[in-house]
Amino acid sequence: MKKYVRPIYSIFKLQIILSLERATFRFSLFVQPLLYTFLLYFIYKDSNTNLSVVVYGSLLLTLWSCLCFSSLSDINREKIMGTFEHIYCSPIKFIWIMVIKTIANTILICTVSSFIILTLCTLLGITLHICNISYFVISVILTVLAFISLSLAFSSLFTLSRNHLIWINMLEYPLYILCGMVVPVSYLPFPMNYLSYLLPPTKTIELFKLSIEMRYFDKFYFIAFLCFIHILIFFAFSKIVLNYSDKKMRVENTGGLV
For the chain, which residues make up each domain, given as ranges?
2-252
The whole-number pLDDT of residue 257 equals 46
- AA letter at 116: I
Could you tell me which of 208, 253, 256, 214 has the C-alpha nearest to residue 78? 256
Residues of the chain short of pLDDT 70, as ranges, are 1-3, 69, 71-73, 75-76, 79, 82-83, 87, 90, 160-165, 215, 252-258
The whole-number pLDDT of residue 184 equals 79
Q: How many other CB atoms are there within 10 angstroms of residue 24's CB atom? A: 12
The whole-number pLDDT of residue 165 equals 67
